Amino acid sequence: MDPNRPRLIELRAEIHRLGLELNRPVWVAGVTEPYPEGISRDEIQIACMRHVRAIPEFICVVDGSYGTPWNPAELCVLELEIITATLAGKPFHFFLLAPYENDFRTEGLLRVVQLLRPEIVRIAPQSPEQILATLEVRLGRIRTCVRRCLRFALARRRTKRSLDVQFLGGNFVPLSSNLPTEELIRELLAKVSSADDQPTQLVYTWMAIRRLCAVPYDNPAFGSFLPLWNTALGNWGRASAWYGLHGHHFLGRLAAVNTLVRIRERITGVSIPQNDNLSIQVGKGALASEYYSIAKATWSLSFRRQLRRRALHLVDEELACPSSDRSGLLAIRGSVLQALGQFEAGQHAYNLMLKTRLAANEDSGRIGEAEAEVGWGYFRLWLHWRFLVLSYLSKAQYHLSRGVSLLQCSAREEFLVRAMWKLGLFYVMTLRLLPARDVLERAHDLAQAKEMPRYLRQIRRVTRVLRIIPRRRHSPQDH
C-alpha cells in the first residue's frame, strides 16, 4: 500500500473494524493478516488473488490512484483483484473515495469494470464516513444481499443474447501509450504454463492481454503481434473453459473464441506456430464445443436444441477440412449427437476418437481422456435402453475405470477430474455408493486444488448425500 495515501489506509482499517463489529469479518490485505517480514511482492500478489477468490463478496474502494505496479506487466494489484473478482462472479460493493484524483490508467480500468459489470454504475466520489455508513447497511442485510445476487444470476441465466459476443466487447483499453515489446509479451505468456490452477493462469494471461491492448489486432501496423494475440486468447479460451466461464460473458470462452476467429481471418503471411494444446481452442470446433457447453446451462428447451444443432453443423464442417486434432472434433461430435438423442451415432464417434488416438500412439493422458468419453457414452446408451443391454454396462465400467487409471499417470489433471466425476456418477447410478464416495472425494480434492468451481459445485451436491454413508471398516479377511 502506498504510504502517501493515508486516508485510504485509514479507511481500509475502519472497514476491517466495521466487519468485526457486525460479525461479518472483512479480509483486508495487510490488515487482517500483517505480512511477515521478508515476503516478496510476488507472494503478496498471489495471496491477494487467493483471498479474493475465497471471499463471498468483494469490497472495492478507489481513490483515483492506480497503485504501485508489482509485476513485469506493470499492472497494480488492485486491477488484478478486480479481474479476479469478476471472473469468480463475486458480488461487488464499489466506491469512489473523495477527493478523487484522475489517473489515466485508473480511468481505463474503470471503463473495463463498467463493461464487465454493467450492474455497477459510475457513482460520485464519497467521503470515508459516507462509505462506512453505506457498508454498515449493506453488510447488515445478509438475506437481502443473497436474494439480490440470486435474482441477478437467474436473470443472466435466462437472458438470450447474440452469440457473436467479442472479447471485452471489442473495446481494448490500453494500459498506457507506450507500446509493449514482443519480448515482454512472450515473457508474460511463459508464466502461464508455470501456474498450477486455472485462475492464476487467467491472471497471467490477463497481464499479457492488457499490454496487447496497446497493439490491437485489427490495426495493420501491428501485424507482428498477431501470433501473440493468437496464443494469449488461445490460453484464455482453454483456462476459461475449465473455470466454467461459458455463455455471453465478455471475458468468457465464447468471447475469446469469436475474437480468435477474427484474428485468424486477419492473418495473412504471418506464421502461427502449431500447438496441439491450443488447436481445439480456435475455429469452428471450439465454437461447437462452447455452444454445447452453453446448451447444458440454458433453461430454454428450444434454445438448447438450437445450440446443439448449430454445434453439430459446425463440427461437421470442421471435420470436412484437414485438422491437427481430428480426434478432439470427434469427441465433440459424439457428445453433441448423444445430447440430441442420437446415442448410437454418438457412440460411433466416441469409438472412432479412441481408435484414432490409439493408432497414433498418443500419450496416456490423451488415450485416458478418450477411454473415459467412450465409457460415458456406453453408460448413456445403457440408460437410453432402460438398463436392458447389460453389455453396455460392463463396457461403460471398463472404459471409465481404464480412463481414470491412464489419466492418473499423466499431467492432464483437469481431464482426470472430469473422468472421476463421470466414474463417480456411474457408481451412484448403479448403487455402488461406497466406491462412488471414494472416487468423488478424490475428484473434489483435485478440483479444489485446481480451482475448478463448476465441477466443485456438481461434486459437492452428490458428496453431501454420500457422506451420510459410513465407511466400511476393513477386516483381516479383506487382506
60 forms beta bridges with 94
* Segment (H or E) for 60: strand 58-62
Number of H helices, E strands in the chain: 20, 2
Residue 217's φ and ψ, nearest 5 degrees, are -65, -20
The domain in which residue 118 lies consists of 6-158
Preceding omega of 470 cis (within 30 degrees of 0): no
Q: What is the mean pLDDT of each run of 10 residues along the chain (479 residues)?
A: 72 91 86 75 80 89 84 86 88 89 84 79 84 89 51 46 84 82 93 86 92 90 91 92 88 92 73 46 84 90 94 93 82 96 96 96 95 97 88 96 96 95 96 94 94 92 85 47
The CATH number of whichever domain residue 146 belongs to comes to: 3.40.50
Within a domain: residue 30?
yes
CA 403 to chain centre: 24
Position of cell 466454467?
244
Instruction: Note the pLDDT of residue 3.
Output: 52
241's CB contacts (< 8 A; 6+ apart) are: 253, 289, 290, 293
Instruction: Note the pLDDT of residue 281.
Output: 58
Q: Do residues 213 and 78 make contact, with C-beta atoms less than 8 angstroms apart?
A: no
The secondary structure of 356-375 as a DSSP string is HHHHTT--HHHHHHHHHHHH
pTM for the predicted model, two decimal places: 0.85
Q: How far apart are CA 329 and CA 324, in angstroms?
A: 10
Q: How far apart are CA 128 and CA 117, in angstroms?
A: 24
3-class DSSP state for residue 96? strand
Within a domain: residue 62?
yes
Within a domain: residue 26?
yes
- For the chain, the straight-line distance linking the first and the last C-alpha, in angstroms and rounded, comes to 59
Binning the chain into helix, strand and coil, the percentages to the nearest 5 are 65, 5, 30
Alpha helix segments (H runs only) across 267-410: 276-279, 283-297, 301-319, 326-339, 343-359, 364-384, 390-408
Nearest to residue 57, comparing CAs of 17, 16, 88, 22?
88
Within a domain: residue 350?
no
Within a domain: residue 282?
no
Nearest to residue 135, comparing CAs of 31, 28, 274?
28
Within a domain: residue 134?
yes
Instruction: Note the pLDDT of residue 277.
Output: 44
Q: Do residues 378 and 395 make contact, with C-beta atoms less than 8 angstroms apart?
A: yes
Domains of the chain: total: 1
Within a domain: residue 38?
yes
Within a domain: residue 422?
no
